[in-house]
Every structure is written in structure tokens, then in C-alpha cells.
Structure 1
């Protein structure tokens, strides 16, 4: 009886609050920002609930400010500049309580025995927190980008590293990666870390566009700028006579024609998860490198993203 009573108390004091917390987080991920956690408990869970609700208030405030901002219909450049300041401030406000929640859950998780069934629950909470933290970092990266540190780099080497990180997820989704990487290509001036982020964004998007499996083909080629097949817009942007071209081709769901013109816009997304910043950040990084990125897509057949860079003259 004593043992049963102890388990009942544990269930009331720990298991029940944790389950309610998970339910709340799931509703938030589904887009319900009106829900709040119970702050009435006078323990660690009550403090965590207070921090979490504070974060939600910041999210609601951000949503309202963004909606109000779009109503003004200002010029795109000035709109994005102001939006960046809003995002940066709010993202910092979210980051602090999120860090506190993460620390509290990690402490609780570490104190549980390895065979305790509650470890699975706390591990799931930590996973959700990591996802929220990733969204905040994406917002900060968009609002306050770091200046690129340019180095002469092999595009093939940078791509190899990016493919290594994407491969496990691609295998899980039954996506076969066909990489035709010619490492004898002329080098390109780039920030390897930022460009790896671009390649990761494009590959992750491609994998997510193939939920039933498919093929992601990646190629690197070089060409003379004045040859046929290079658009006049690319010729005007890139001054080098020789171009290095990276192509990401998938057999995914494709993008509707009416959405292609907005695909690089900040916060534009048709996915249930994500911020809609990945392609916008990727385009900005590529353009800061003096290059350009384009997309072609057909619903039901897939998409092709192409990046153009100026090659370094090694002669």
C-alpha cells in the first residue's frame, strides 16, 4: 500500500505536469499560440511554466507586430530592414527563457534512473526545445547575418561535408543521393561555413520534398559565361569569364508555378514546419558571394536549384 501510494504521488506531482507540458508544446507546434501552461504549482514546474508562458507572449507579440507591419504595404527593402530589427529583439527575448527551460529539464532528466520510463518523456521535451531553439537561431541569423570570411575553396570539398551531414536523413527517407562532384574544378572565393549552410538548406528541402523516397542528383560543372545556356541576368551579375555551376535536382513534389516567384521571400513556406527563412537566407548568402541562385520546378516531377559562382582565374 505504501509503495502504491508513493507511485500515485509521483504520478500526480511529476508525470501529470510533464504530460500536460508535452500536450501544450504539441499544440503550439500546430500553430495554437493562445494556449498557456499552468503556473499555479509552487515548484520547479511552476517556474518552468512561467518561463514558457513568457516565451509564448513574446511569440504572440512577434506575430502581431509582423501582421501589423505587413498591413502598411511599405517598400520591400525598408520593410525587411525594419522586420529584421523586430525579429532580432524578439528572438533574444525568446532565447533567454528557452535556455532556462532547457536547463531545468536537463537537470530533471539527469536525476532519473536509466530504467525510469519518464526519461523517454523528458527526452522528448528536450527534443522539442532543441527544435524551438533552432527556429530562434534561424530568425537571428536572418536578422543579424555575419559578414562572410572569403577564402579560395573547392566547391566539391564543401559539398562533400554537407552531403555527409544530410546522408543519414536521406537514407531514412529512402532518398538516394547521386553526387557527381568534379574536384578538379577551379576554386571559388567563398565562406566555406556559410556556403555549407546553403548546400544543407537546399538538400534538406529536397529530401523533405520526397516523403516517399526519390533521387537527389548533385552536379558541379564549369562553363564560359558567354556560352549559350547562361541567361543574360546571370551574365550581368557575374563579372568573371568562367562560371562554376552547382545543380541540385530532385524527383520530389515540385512547386506550383504561382509560388515560384515568392519562393525566396522571407517567411514564405508551404510546409507545416519551419520558418520559411532557409531559401531566403541561402539566396542572400549566394548573392553576397557575388553569385546567383535560380529555380525551375514542375508539380509532380520535381525541382532544380542552380547556383552560379565566379571561378577564380588560376592561369
Structure 2
């Protein structure tokens, strides 16, 4: 409390305001955004200062275990959100055909070449690859979403991996393992912060090696990745506004990549590009220069995969029987697989 007093909190100045904030927070019709009392904010400042001093002398509270990093609610590096994707995005949810059943089972989900592998980005030509991403397109009650993944495979595993990915009835539920997630890192600390380097092992606390499996008891097909999911904990409106896929520590270290000021992608000569999608799309895309991906892959083969679902807005408890049958048979699933 002494530090809270030193910081300037006074009952006379803040008492009535704090009471009003607390009372409003308890009302069911109050603002959905939680507003904290001034006293609580001063208390958090004092608490973080105390924990920082204890951590400096090796006496961090046991609950932190020396592993958790206390980060501010607002990233002090003030990174701008990634720019909107400059390439045209596919109109996955068109008005035609008018028959919902036909569209749900056989609507065309095009992934054009200029999305997979544009020749030029940010004025740098020579070829780029869409290595990771997610897109969601909506129009008049129809929604299509799709994931984009890149797998680095041993040559002898390519055909079996393609067969598994093609024949899998439902490729969700982590059939394609999600990217490992980087947390407790500020945007400007990529890729040099030690927390950005992840450990892949079978040991507890480590990330498992990414593997394609037809059955969880199989050894599966191991593959390499070139990206991680950067998910800042901050939900500030002036922050990034969500997570983005970025080049992995290994990829960045291999080519000595560093950030351009104010960007999320890691760049020396432009090497990566992170984009967001604008309405009527939602999502994000990560591109890497083709020559760097090929160099990083070495003897491995690069496979690009896109898969997703077509959906029609409906009150599911009263959805027509044909719609339920389509979902049971996974006829609404779409996918594309190609060698880069």
C-alpha cells in the first residue's frame, strides 16, 4: 500500500470514481468491456514492480516458478497491424448457384496461383510462397473457411503424405498439427528473444515433433515447418489485434533475418511478408521468399496444403435432413494439395 500511495492514489481524488466503476461492472446491462478501478491499476503497478525486484535476486514467487514473464497490457513497441493483402482473394462464397444443397456439396473452391505463389511482393520479385494462413469468406448466409499449411517432407514420404492428406475424410481435429505458439514475447523481440526459440521433443513441456498420422497409434510421417504462431497476450485495441503466423526461430536464424521497423514479418532484404484480410474476408497470410524456403528445405520436398469447409447459416436443431447428411458424410469439405 505504501507504493500505491507513493504513486499518487488518494481516496479523495479516486474514491468516488472507483466506487462508480465497481458498481457499473456489477450491472448485467453494463459495458461488455471490463473497466478496472484506478486503485486496482495502481495496485498492479506496485505488484509488478515488487515481483520484478524479487525475480532479479532469484526470489520470484513460487507460483511464477521463474518461467512466467509479466508483460504489460500494451506492447510498448507499438507495432502496427500487418497491411491488407495486396493480391485479390478468391470469392469462395458466391451467390450462384442458388441451390444451397448443390453449393454445399460441390461449390468450387478455387485457390489461384497468384495466391499460392505470387511472383512479386513489396517490390521484391523472384517468387514467393504462401506457407501458412487462414481465410474466411462470407456472403448472404454462406461461409467458406480455409487453412493453408506447408510441409517439408523427405522425398520418400511425399506420395504417402499426399495420399493420407487426400483420403482423410475429415482433415481437421489436428490431423495437420497446429503451429507451435510463441507467447510472452513482445513484437519487437522477434526473433532474438530466447523465448522465441522453441524446443521440440517428447519430453514434458516441449512441443511434439509435427507428424501426419492416419491413426494416433501409428508412427506417422514426420515433417518440418517454417513458421510459428505469434500470439501476443495483449488484447489492446492499439495492438496487433490477434495472432499472426511468422517465420520460425530456425528459419530466421538460418538467414540472419531481422525486423524492419514497425513490422511483424522478419526481414533482411525482404524475406517474409505478413498480411491480414479485410472485409468481406477475415484471416491472415504468411509469405516467404521461394529461394529461402528451397534453401531451408535442402533435400526435403515442399508440399502446400489448403483445406476447409463450406457452410450455410442455419438453426442447427431445425436444420433440414439433407444438410445433416452432408455434414455426416463430410461432403462439405474441400482441399487442394500441391508440390511447391
TM interval, shorter chain, is: under 0.3
State TM-score, norm by structure 2: 0.22
Give the structure, 1 or 2, with the largest relative contact order (CA under 8 Å, sep 6 or more): 2
How does the TM-score come out when normalised to structure 1?
0.23
Which structure dedicates a bigger proportion of its chain to helix? 1
More strand by share: 2
